[in-house]
Amino acid sequence: MELIKLTIDNRTVEVEKGTTVYHAAKKLDITIPTLCYMNLKDLNIEHKPGGCRICVVEVEGRRNLAPACATECMEGMVVKTHSVRVLNARRTVLELIISDHPFDCLVCAKSGKCDLQDMAVKLGVRDIPFKGEKSTYKPDFSPSIIRDMDKCIMCRRCETMCNDFQTVGVLSGIHRGFEAVVAPAFERDLDHSECTYCGQCVAVCPTAALTEVDHTNQLINDLSNPDKTVVVQTAPAVRAALGEEFGMEPGTLVTGKMVAALRQLGFHFVFDTDFAADLTIMEEGTELLERLTKHLNGDKDVKLPILTSCCPGWVNFFEYYYPDMMDIPSTARSPQQMFGAIAKTYFAEKQKINRKDMVVVSIMPCVAKKYECTREEFATDGSPDVDYSISTRELANLIKQANIDFNTLPDEDFDKPLGESTGAAVIFANTGGVIEAAARTAYEIHTGKTLDKVDFEALRGFEAIRSATVDFNGVDIKIGIAHGLGNARKLLDDVKAGKSEFHAIEIMACPGGCIGGGGQPLHHGDSSILKARAKAIYEEDKGKKLRKSHENPDIIKLYEEFLGKPGSDLAHKLLHTHYFSRKDKQVLLD
């Protein structure tokens, strides 16, 4: 390891060869402002296109200013990060960027959370001297994501997430000069591209060029309609992140406050997607055991590994890229959809509520869930099981709009029966959580024994691809886990090539699983926030009285009173699904 000495703002610093000026400055606690740079170090993603030119610094002996994020340190280098020349250049660059940006901050979806706005404040921009042409692109509305490219500053972070991390490859920089923009191939809209709606582009966009479809106004209308019974379900990952929107430390659990806020907002029943996650384990776990038993008994036709199917981004991904392998994923619907199906049948009948008078809303860390709600197979006579989904961010905005002081709310409990859940359901939020929950139940059902220790530590962690072997009473069950679709692709290619040794594979589209979902509070490139959320989720699991899905009393009751047993005909009708090749959906020319 070769060390290099350089001077930054009259202070000496020693760094490893290959370090950029940006990181060397960071060592001295100097944070050079940037717009395009992004470093998600826990995910091994460093995006440094040197495109925005906000991070320029003065290097003694060089004629031009240098972008700190893309300039390597040299021995004896003398760098100035805030000379008058630097500050003037930085402001001019920002003014030029803003000169081709709409001035609608007051009504912009990103206002208050926009990196460009923050930078304008930081650099004291008061006037834009450059008057000229402005970009006018047609906005692109998909079921989950809105693209408003007039607001794009060409940082190209979305491209890195879509191509390098997710390997979906929808977004690319196209054209050149003033016409340059990030778009799908042939400027198709997202709905006609291979987009999975994972929302990682939305999660990293510094402006409002990429935002989620906003359902809050629809929700306000439904809540104020006296003829409607509005039922809400909250995904496990929401409770570990919502607090961040109210100034709490990342990793603060706000389950009780969230329930209280939802009740104050006027929801008639505040339920938990965790209930449906327990239900998912009953159905998916049964399917896993069935396939596994057949396999162990020597059945050569049985399809293994079984793949989890909770994540709608992941489902979209395999429907597009692996249409010939659609018999491998579990047929179990996602918890969101299981919840909707049960709420509008079992629960509606119990409460004597007409299906058409019930509105089921989900609070999700995800934007792909919005698309999932609209899938035709999840509707009865045109009435969707889940009417619509709002993101963690949208919920936070609504709570603020309603003038509810979130931080001082008392802790309240979910309503029954669809609010009861176990620790196994809570951990669905984390990468590895679904398969751990499945292992807890499958182990006990398969072996007839009680687990000594419910924590399967081997399945936890943040590494991109993990594998573990779980001992099912003498039988080794091999489990694979991937988060991020690029990592999923590696496991899938092995399966396709017949090289996979796994019995079961869990896949989540987003980094860290749902806690890093596209609908969560923005992490602004700080991946330690994701780790804090994951930790909180495991704490919530630990604190639960019941930690195995099959012990959830209201799930047991649901089977006794309504469904019969896991995998029954009714369970199949309401809780399972089938997949479609999305390759055919693509339309070449509009």
Partner 1 sequence: MTSIKLKLKESEVQKLKEVAQSFNNEAGELINVLHKAQEIFGYLPAEVQEVVAEELNIPVAKVYGVVTFYSFFTMLPRGRYPISICTGTACYVRGAEKILDEFKRILKVPVGETTPDGKFSITCLRCVGACGLAPLVTIGDKTYGRVTTDGVKDILKEYENED
Return residues touching partner 1 (CB under 8 A): 163, 168-176, 183-186, 192-193, 587-590
Q: Name the residue nearer to partner 1 (CB basis): 195 or 396.
A: 195
Residue 266 burial (10 A CB sphere; 0-12, 13-18, 19+) = middle
Q: Is 514 a catalytic residue?
A: yes
- As measured in angstroms, the least distance from the Cβ of 154 to partner 1 is 12
3-state secondary structure of 59: strand
Give the integer Cα–Cα distance in Å for 486 and 313.
12
Which residue among 58, 287, 436, 506 is the active-site one?
287
- As measured in angstroms, the least distance from the Cβ of 368 to partner 1 is 19
DSSP annotation of 415 reads: P
Q: Is 73 a catalytic residue?
A: no
Q: Name the residue nearer to partner 1 (CB basis): 84 or 588.
A: 588
Q: Is 284 a catalytic residue?
A: yes
Phi–psi pair at 254, nearest 5 degrees? -125, 35
Which residue among 330, 334, 389, 500 is the active-site one?
330
- As measured in angstroms, the least distance from the Cβ of 494 to partner 1 is 17
- As measured in angstroms, the least distance from the Cβ of 191 to partner 1 is 10
Give the integer Cα–Cα distance in Å for 397 and 390.
11
Which residue among 245, 284, 506, 540 is the active-site one?
284
- As measured in angstroms, the least distance from the Cβ of 328 to partner 1 is 22
Which residue among 48, 110, 514, 540 is the active-site one?
514
Q: What are the residue ranges of helices labelled H in 62-102? A: 84-99
Give the integer Cα–Cα distance in Å for 512 and 241.
13
Q: What are the residue ranges of helices labelled H in 448-497? A: 485-496
Q: Name the residue nearer to partner 1 (CB basis): 174 or 532.
A: 174
- Cβ atoms within 10 Å, residue 117: 20
Chain-centroid distance of CA 269 in Å reads 25
Q: Name the residue nearer to partner 1 (CB basis): 50 or 256.
A: 50
Q: Is 506 a catalytic residue?
A: no
Specify the length of the chain in residues: 590
Give the integer Cα–Cα distance in Å for 41 and 386.
36
Give the integer Cα–Cα distance in Å for 230 and 342.
15
DSSP string of 355-380, one letter each residue? GGGEEEEEEES-SHHHHHHH-GGGEE
- As measured in angstroms, the least distance from the Cβ of 108 to partner 1 is 27
Q: Name the residue nearer to partner 1 (CB basis): 155 or 183.
A: 183
- As measured in angstroms, the least distance from the Cβ of 590 to partner 1 is 6
Q: Is 194 a catalytic residue?
A: no
3-state secondary structure of 528: helix
Q: Name the residue nearer to partner 1 (CB basis): 188 or 446.
A: 188
| β partners of residue 482 | 465, 507
Radius of gyration of the chain (CA): 25
Q: Is 527 a catalytic residue?
A: no
Question: In this structure, what token pair is assigned to residue 188?
Answer: 């198709």
Q: Name the residue nearer to partner 1 (CB basis): 58 or 194.
A: 194
**Residues noted as catalytic:** 284, 287, 310, 330, 369, 372, 377, 514
